[in-house]
Chains A and B, each alone.
Chain A
């Protein structure tokens, strides 16, 4: 299913970031995708289920959180998981494409991508 992806701050993202970016709390609060209930129904998923999200730039598995966004859009808190999906091309502005990206979403049985997985993607 094709949806529009936005990224941004949340209180939980801010608090858990201050707790520590390697903390389990950060993982719980940031490795998530907010999806509208109607879209969830269409995708056949429940809250807490894993979803695979894919953009032109990358692909990751996140945990679904119900609501908090409009129908036809998903919201992922800023952080390493969102980074996999966002585009580094700034079109000469210095500002990468962090909002309004087209994303392909599907339910999945895979595990939610871990921070270690992402660090491996970085080649670090």
Chain B
């Protein structure tokens, strides 16, 4: 296949809007071609397929979200076609519709950000029913019994062993922490309120859990960093928790508060931390009445700490379904809104909660939240350390990403929305005064090149020779940025045209990424497992049958 005369943006290879030809063979980008299909991309922009570093698309919690919201689905029924299956969209789309809508936007890789180990089999079953995209699963570990036990014992070797084994047993991709320690306390109806609160019965603190897993993550050489949903998420004044969390990682190298870029960081041996949906943890103020943006301070921290990265969790003014493993936060949100509430605790490991929510421009709190996400994106200088997400479906559904792109690329687009929000919000954030507008190149970084790099997916996010032929081609119209990126002209997945003129033309089945770190279960772990779990250890690891199409990403 030849993609001719397109304007190529390929930040990982330093290509910024060059007119060039791209050759594809056997699902890969190659040096030169010999015939086959030719796509005339004259006047179009050519980008690597989008990479979503954080989304909730499958598994027990997402499916409970679907289950509890028939009123949501009824707003967006999707009929079958000759090529595609039917389903529903809106805030918690069904698996097939999830795949189609990502593809229509030009996204070709999606990471499910929160999988309870005991539910991993379920998550993989659903991943196998998401067409079009490649995918992976982050495994929840921040309140895992064995993790906290070995952190308490200060035994990083055992911790490493366990973490490595768990990633393999669950066929997971990365270590995910959600309100570390707090989710265990929620199992008694309580929470932790700071990095140094103790987890009941274990005596460990969130700080110790985060630091230990960050260390283990690098010693195992995992491709992605630890992926952290901080403590105190959603609460006014919680930016201090976020800043402290970031500060606690890599601090040993240069004393507290340090962690500037060093050779070690570049070599990848230093500890890294990815703060997810940073918007939800960048609040100033003391309560809901005084809530304000702490984005400036947060961005300052990120600008200094080169080992920290983030994704936005941008709020969209629309319906959402909030769902996180942060049980106590979801309970709080239920109490705040009075909306229906699902809670789902998982033995020995984690929990989850789900509450429907609507972000309204005339709500002061929601308006501030909306500003914060964009503010962080525009104040963090290095786009390689910022990723565009809405924490789907928490801040809003993923198919609104083109809206976020428009806000980032156009001050005018921001001003239009600023004109519609609660007036008191305007003075609580610096967003109105920010001039920066993302270039197409920067947009390509925060939606594909950056996340691919942070995930350690070497064949994704770029169009160099050897890369997977996941390519998105858009007709870019400066006066309709949102429209430009909502419906790709062409999407090529693994070398095949799957989207043409904003329609699915072929159903394609992507693969699931896994890691294969060192780590075996020790006898003492087996004994404890059989005592406290309600399933046999034999039946716990996800069997190979659940990974019909997979690719092991090597450790570093």
Direct contact of A and B (CB under 8 A): no
Binding site for B on A (CB under 8 A): none
Interface residues of B (CB under 8 A from A): none
